[in-house]
Structure 1
Amino acid sequence: MTKRNVKDPEERKQELIDIASKLFEKYGYEKVSVRDILAEVNGAPGMFYYYFKSKEDIFLACMETYFDEKLKNKLDILQNKEIDYEERIKILRELIVKDIGQFTKKYNFSLNNSITDNSYRLWELTHYIGKFIDVYSEFIIEGIEDKKIENNMGIDRENVKSFAAFILYGAVGTIYTDSINKGENKTNSNGAFEVISELFPRLH
């Protein structure tokens, strides 16, 4: 009797996420069904619902996986004090402008999507950005304490998280607006970091 190839649960879960990511990227959230995902892996509904509660659940998992793969390494770099602060500022700019911008393109943030469709995208984007606040707060404090950036706003350890949250969510809002609008309402997402640079001028 041929031995059945049984995959590790985490391997099977990741396979479903990988397949779903490709389908969502190609066809959009609303045009992909759980049945479509299962057809790609020749799986039964019970297998899908063992790992995910719904299509919405796996959609959020796909976006979270993207963030984990694309952005976590940059956050690790931001915390690495062996790397020059100026170099880490460049990494921060890439994280805010390039990687999050690519995320909005990959997951098709668009006014053409339904409110429900875009709500899942925006929820995941804002939820995940919230995880960066602590790291960015420490990065700001480090820059102030090491005289790398000016502190014109009275930032200290008591209020730094509020500043970090305001800046990150503001930058993401600019990028989000840039992604869904066209024409005269379109913004320049690179301007998000220019504003940050104005708030925290570098000392020379």
Structure 2
Amino acid sequence: MRISKEPEVRKREIADNAMRLFCEKGYEATSMKDIARAVNVVPGLCYNYFKSKYELYEYAITLYADECITPLIDILQGEEESLDAYYKKIVAVFIRNDGKEKYHDFFHKDGNQLFHKQLEIIMNDKVQPYIENFIVRLNKKGQLKVEDPKSVSRFIVYGQSPIVNDDALTPKEKTDKVMSIIKLLLK
């Protein structure tokens, strides 16, 4: 029996199953046939949505990046009374989510460093403008006096990655290190 689904629902279903299989079998060992089988559709249907396995992967990684950074973006766009209130919310969200992300195991698996680097770049590129706007907004309110919000936001976003991605550190250790640097930059 054929089940018809909205295109975005079907695309998401295909992407979720593909990422699950990439986690289980590895990217290289997973075929479009495997993905179609997991979704319970014919392979041609997957190709209606994605020209290749790599295009499917790019779609899935972008969805995942959005899911990971949305809580941070929501905080950055909020209206808190103080800079410390923002810091506390960001730390709480990070500690609650670190290592528990949907596809954490795939991106942190030995041999998947390039996939992880792709994810890191996508996430950083997406979140950097929000941090820049955050700094500009707090400058206007008189809570910050950052002369070059663009450069500082870039330094914060791209500079924190090695610390945030260091699995030898606990989430608390990561936030302590990153937040102490951010506080120095945003004085």
Query: TM-score of the superposition, structure 2-length normalised?
Result: 0.78
Q: Give the Cα–Cα distance (whole angstroms) in 2 for the partners of residues 148 and 165 of structure 1.
A: 19
Q: Residue 109 of structure 1 corresponds to which residue in structure 2?
A: 108
Residue identity matched to 2:17: I
Superposed CA offset, 1:39-88 (max 9, x none): 1122222211221232222223222222323422431231122x333322
Report if aligned partners of 2:87, 2:179 keep a CA contact under 8 Å in 1. no
Summarize the Cα distance change of 1:131–1:94 in structure 2 as closer, same or farther, 3 Å threshold.
farther
* Amino-acid identity (%): 27
The alpha-carbon deviation at position 122 of structure 1 amounts to 1.1
Report the aligned-residue RMSD: 2.8
- AA matched with 1:192: V
Moved more, 48-57 or 68-77: 68-77
Q: Please point out which of 70, 77, 81 is paired with 1:84.
A: 81
- 1:138 matched to 2:124? The reply is no
Count matched residues.
181
What pairs with 1:1-204 in structure 2 (closer than 5 Å)? Answer: 4-81=2-79, 83-85=80-82, 86-94=84-92, 99=97, 102-103=100-101, 105-110=104-109, 112-113=110-111, 117-149=112-144, 151=145, 155-156=146-147, 159-176=148-165, 178-179=166-167, 189-190=174-175, 191-201=177-187
In the superposition, relative to structure 1, how do residues 169 and 78 fare at CA in structure 2: closer, same or farther (>3 Å)?
Answer: same
* Conserved 8 A contact 2:152-2:185: no
Larger radius of gyration: 1
Whole-Å separation in 1 of the counterparts to 2:114 and 2:7 = 29
Distance apart, 1:98 and its partner CA: 6.0
Higher RCO (CA 8 Å, separation ≥ 6 residues): 1
- Per-residue deviation at 1:100? 6.2
Whether the 8 Å CA contact 1:71–1:99 is kept in 2: the answer is no
Structure 1 residue runs without a partner (length 5+): none
- Which residue identity lines up with residue 138 of structure 1 in the other structure? N
